[in-house]
Chains A and B, each alone.
Chain A
Amino acid sequence: MLIYISRRLLWTPVLLFLAGLLIFSLGSVTPGDPAELMAGPRADPESVNRIRERLGLNDPFMVQYLRYISNALKGDFGESYRYRGRAVFELLGPKFRVSLELNIVSSVVALAIGLPLGFWAAMRQGTWKDPSMTNFMLFVYAMPVFFTAPLLILVFALWLDWIPVSGWSGMFSRQAVLPAITIGLPGAYAFMRYMRASTLDVLGQEYVRTAHGKGMGQLTVNTRHVARNAMIPIVTILGFSLAGMLGGSLIVELIYGIPGVSRLALEAVFQRDYPILTALTLLGSGMLVLANLVADIMYSVVDPRIRLRA
């Protein structure tokens, strides 16, 4: 196991390097020149060239990327093309935090809905309630945010006037409620399925039957043994859901006017702001790889069989 983890740890920087390279190289495929974008409309060729020099855009592609990476290691993710003179990190940092916060609350909502429902469904396996609940949650899961987000705004912000329409003031503010539900509700489906499967697993285990045999009450068995043990494997996928949601919050952030990374990211896509895109990729990939790693370790901690196998 240790060897496995250390091998993964060694692979991680290589993976990030290659993922960054993938995005960075796309920049050279596009026609057009970031220097022209930076110089603005109708700038003279001379000043465009000056900018090109300053950014090192005349260098060979690999040189540019290696320079970018070596600077990134020092914490300098370069300078945005669109926001002249702004460090990418300075631009991205606060927005990344907001997106992260949004995804954390959303995950909490997803867990809070998904886990009890999954447990509930598993306990009713064999009745009509189990598949009905699963299907209903799938129905919710498939609901496009283009519909949920405006619907929630219309009902809760405009008609009932309970919650502000837009903005963000931290994950514990009222503004967080609607976006968290918008992302968390469909997200609950995955948790529900895992919880259901995991609960069924536990229900089939020896010790649950033993507990019943010892004459423990149904409720005690359920809470003390089944639910608790069933939740353990869920921990391992939590990281994934966090890392994966970052993409999912794109449209939600736009509709709710949340100052997360989405606007910056889209703007960067359209304006070919590759320093920002590469930094975003490195951050996003980094999180996903980290989640992978944590999941691996968790798995071995939670499930001793894996440790033995290794």
Chain B
Amino acid sequence: MFRNLLITGASLVALFAIACAGAEPTATPVPPTATPVPPTATPMPEPTATPEVERESASVAPTATAIAAATQEAKAQATASAEETATASEQVETVEDSEPEPAARDFDPRAGGVFRLLGVDPTTLDPALTTDSTSYELVVELFGGLMRLTDDPNQPIVLDLAESFEVSQDGTVYRFILRENLVFSDGTPLTASDVKWSWERAALPETGSPIVKEFLGDIVGINDIVDGNASSAEGITVVDDTTLEVRIDAPKPYFIAKLTYPVTFVVSRDNIESGGGSWTDSPVGTGPFVLKDYEIGVSMTLARNERYWDRPAYLDEVQFNLVGGSALAMYENDEIDISGIPTASFERVTDPADPLYDEVVDVPPEFFTHYIGFNSDLPPFDDVHFRRAMNYAVDKELIVEAVLQSRVRAAYGPLPPGFIGFNPDLERLEFDPDKAVEELNMSKYADPETRPRIVLTASGTGGSPSAWLQAVADMWARTLDVQIEFQEVEWATFLQEIDNKQLQLFSLGWSPDYPDPHTFVDVLFRSDSTINPTGYANAEVDALLDEATTEPDPARRIQLYQQAEQIIVNEATWLPMFWGADGKVLVKPHVNDFRFSPLGGYFFKDVWLEKDVDF
């Protein structure tokens, strides 16, 4: 889920009226993580927002187990099977000061200053309604929940408002102990009943949260509220002001990981009831920042929350410029403190002779895979030879180097390098024009006269598809004499049409929701998965995936996924295009501790400035 958001955000930016497909990275200055993603129109479907929660959770279950597993592994430096972890974590106790100590440095962080960056209007600031990355990044600054995510890959989940929690023997009852003397940003105390109220409020039909079942539906009684049959969840018990007991419907060790997501955040009852429909204009939360000022389409200012339970943020303010403009020029003119690097300037900026060179900061690679999907139910893509021909005909390495300045890596399978289960020995369909023609001639669509019309759909607002897509189309045209047409539809419609398996050929990206091959191989290719955008169905693959879901031995499990992946790649239901690579952004030298995490997102709480900037 979490990893998806950022990319979704990038695509929302793209959707955002003018920055249509092929938009330069500068068009999405906000999430620096979006910078290395060349196809800004890379929409990542949002599995959690799917209405069919039942099927969803079924697919999430075994893998989210793996989250816990991964976390445990990191801590214990030992391998434990997912099943074992589930039962072994009878009592998970986390120390309060769980954050890693910052490395020693010559000078200490100092408080003060304003951090300025380009931003995009959030869809909402209501945690219960947050499904996209733009909103997400702001909501996590303004609100908090029992748990939160960090930028440390070894310890992605830590305690936030909760001081500790215990899990019962059978794994269905969680007892959370809140920190002492918690207060909201307006100074009112926060107790366990606020948590209960917030969760029940998120579930109310009139709140209209599209994802509440996904994240809180495990709690006994929540689904009844969502369905309008109850107003209170029996599974949530307020023991005393700092103790909350939560009963869930089955032992699900990944439950705790879900509590990092905004829909579970604590909101202030006073705030919502007095604010009515516009309460998010002056939201009250428990995040490191408060909303100081927001003018739609103009600017948004976050100010330090002095009442934050932990060390308050160093920055006085974070200012988002929501108007946009010439990003790099603004950066050079000291009007913003961070900027992506536009394609046109990439060569100049990354030249060591350029004064900006010293300010280029590497962003760790992201896990994502961008691909062109072939709908295997619709002609001509119902023919495996035709799909393979389309695969062999594209020289991805060349596109990556020449068009995208190597900001991504050429992809050959669903799983990106470095991800759990990545198979370096995967047999690839590499660029080979001769094989491409050979496969085309074997297919039943070899004759261009009788070949059906091919339309490639991407999300966007019309106009030029991304440069790389045009390059791909040209390679198809030249190697195979296959002509395609482009079509761009706006994001919401695009996702709907993908859901309905209406699209014949489409450009789409996918980011993992959890560190497990399941999030790629199972979710995207199992014949009965809700997501499966290409409509791929292969009984052999399904059998392998079924086996993997219940396989207790992690090594064997990975092997099963790799076998399935190999079949999928051979059957060419995708043309895998790109994997994430190291990205580059510009950050002003006086900005410290602005770190990027492969888990996505960044946190302003630790950012500090060496001097105040005049502007």
**Is any CB of A less than 8 Å from a CB of B in the complex?**
yes
Contacting pair A150 B326 (CB below 8 A):
yes
Contact B51 A44 (CB under 8 A): yes
Indicate if A41 sits at the interface (CB-CB under 8 A).
Answer: yes
What's the Cα separation between A160 and B322 when bound, in Å?
Answer: 26
CB distance A36 to B335 under 8 Å? no
Whether the pair A41, B325 counts as a contact (CB closer than 8 A) is no
Q: Which residues of B contact A154 (CB under 8 A)?
A: 329
Query: Known: A84-B124, A165-B335, A269-B17. Is A40-B329 also a contact (CB below 8 A)?
Result: no
B324: Cβ under 8 A from any A Cβ: yes
CA distance A258 to B297 in the complex (A): 10
User: Closest CB of chain A to B258's CB: distance in Å?
Assistant: 18
Interface string of A239-268 (1 = CB under 8 A from B): 000000000000000111111000110110
Specify which of B17, B123, B210 is in contact with A42 (CB 8 Å cutoff).
Answer: B210
Q: Does A126 contact B (CB under 8 A)?
A: no
20 A–B pairs (Cβ distance < 8 Å), ordered by A? A37-B490, A39-B210, A40-B210, A41-B49, A41-B496, A42-B45, A42-B50, A44-B51, A85-B277, A153-B329, A157-B329, A161-B333, A164-B335, A167-B321, A257-B323, A259-B322, A266-B17, A267-B18, A270-B15, A270-B18
**What are the residues of chain A within 8 A of B491 when measuring CB–CB?**
41
Question: Is the pair B323, A264 in contact by a Cβ cutoff of 8 Å?
Answer: no
B residues whose Cβ falls under 8 Å from a Cβ of A:
15-18, 45-46, 49-51, 121, 123-124, 131-132, 208, 210, 277-278, 295-299, 321-326, 329-330, 332-333, 335, 461-462, 490-493, 495-496, 499
A158 touching B297 in the complex, CB below 8 Å, given contacts A36-B492, A44-B51, A166-B323: no
A32 contacts B by Cβ under 8 Å? yes
Additional A-B contact list (18), CB under 8 Å, known A166-B329, A254-B325, A259-B295: A40-B210, A42-B499, A47-B210, A50-B208, A86-B296, A94-B298, A95-B298, A153-B329, A165-B335, A167-B335, A168-B323, A254-B18, A257-B321, A257-B323, A258-B323, A259-B297, A259-B298, A259-B322
Q: Report how far A296 CA is from B300 CA in the complex, Å.
A: 44
Residues of B within 8 A of A166 (CB): 321, 323, 325-326, 329-330, 335
Docked Cα-Cα span, A41 to B495, in Å, equals 6
B residues near A153, Cβ cutoff 8 Å: 326, 329
Q: Are A271 and B490 in contact (CB under 8 A)?
A: yes
Complex Cα spacing A254 to B461, Å: 17
Q: Are B17 and A270 in contact (CB under 8 A)?
A: yes
Q: Mark A123-157, 1 if CB is under 8 A from B, else 0.
A: 00000000000000000000000000010011001
Closest A residue to B53 using CB positions: A44
A263 to B299: give the CA distance in the assembly, Å. Answer: 13
Task: Report A's interface with B, CB cutoff 8 A.
Answer: 32, 36-37, 39-44, 47, 50, 83-86, 91, 94-95, 150, 153-154, 157-158, 161, 164-168, 254-259, 263-264, 266-267, 269-271
B455 CB, nearest partner CB in chain A, Å? 16
Asked whether B297 lies within 8 Å of A91 as measured between CB atoms, the reply is yes
Output the least CB separation between A93 and chain B (Å). 11
Across the interface, which residues of A come within 8 angstroms of B45, CB to CB?
A: 41-42
A263 near B335 (CB under 8 angstroms)?
no
Give chain B residues whose Cβ lies under 8 Å from the Cβ of A167: 321, 323, 325, 335
| A67 CB, nearest partner CB in chain B, Å | 20
Report yes or no: B329 in contact with A158, Cβ–Cβ below 8 A. yes
Q: Please determine whether B492 and A255 come into contact, CB atoms closer than 8 angstroms.
A: no
User: Pick the contact of B330 from A257, A258, A267 — CB < 8 Å?
Assistant: A257
B296, B325, B335: the one contacting A255 at CB < 8 Å is B325
Contacting residues, chain A, for B299 (C-beta < 8 A): 259
Cross-chain contact B295 with A94 (CB below 8 angstroms): yes
Kindly identify which residue among A254, A256, A267 contacts B16, using a CB–CB cutoff of 8 Å.
Answer: A267
Chain B residue with Cβ nearest A38: B492
Cα(A188)–Cα(B325), bound, Å: 25
The distance from the CB of B186 to the nearest CB of chain A, in whole angstroms, is 22
B89 to A: closest C-beta gap in Å:
32
Residue of A nearest to B333 (CB): A165
B17 touches A157 (CB 8 A): no
Report the Cα distance A165→B45, complex, angstroms.
Answer: 36
- Return chain A residues, CB-CB under 8 Å to B121: 83
Q: Name the contact of A165 in the complex, choosing from B208, B210, B329, B462 (C-beta under 8 A).
A: B329
Q: Is the CB of B296 within 8 A of A91?
A: yes
Complex: A152 Cα to B51 Cα, angstroms: 51
Q: A266: which B residues are within 8 A, CB to CB?
A: 17-18
Select which of B50, B321, B323 is within 8 A of A263 by beta carbon.
B323
CB of B119 to closest CB in A, whole Å:
12
CB pair B495 A254 closer than 8 Å: no
- Give chain A residues whose Cβ lies under 8 Å from the Cβ of B298: 94-95, 259
List, in ascending order, chain A residues with CB within 8 A of B131's CB.
Answer: 40-41
For residue A256, which residue of chain B has the nearest CB?
B325
Q: Point out which of B121, B299, B326, B461 has the most chain A C-beta atoms below 10 A from its C-beta.
A: B326
Contact status of A83 and B296, CB under 8 A, knowing A270-B490, A271-B17: yes
- With both chains docked as a complex, state the minimum distance between the C-beta of B69 and any C-beta of chain A, in angstroms: 28
Residues on B with C-beta less than 8 A from A157 are 329, 333
Distance in angstroms from A90 CB to nearest chain B CB is 8
- Chain B residues lying within 8 Å of A40, measured Cβ to Cβ, are 49, 123, 131-132, 210, 492
Q: Which residues of B contact A91 (CB under 8 A)?
A: 296-297
Closest B residue by C-beta to A154: B329
Nearest to A85 among chain B residues (CB) is B277
Let me know if A47 and B208 touch, CB within 8 A: yes
Q: Which of A44, A85, A257 contacts B326 (CB 8 A)?
A: A257
Cα A94 to Cα B16 in complex, Å, equals: 20
Check B461–A270 contact: CB distance below 8 A.
yes
Q: Please tell me which one of the listed residues A158, A161, A168, A263 contacts residue B17 in the complex, with CB atoms under 8 A apart.
A: A263
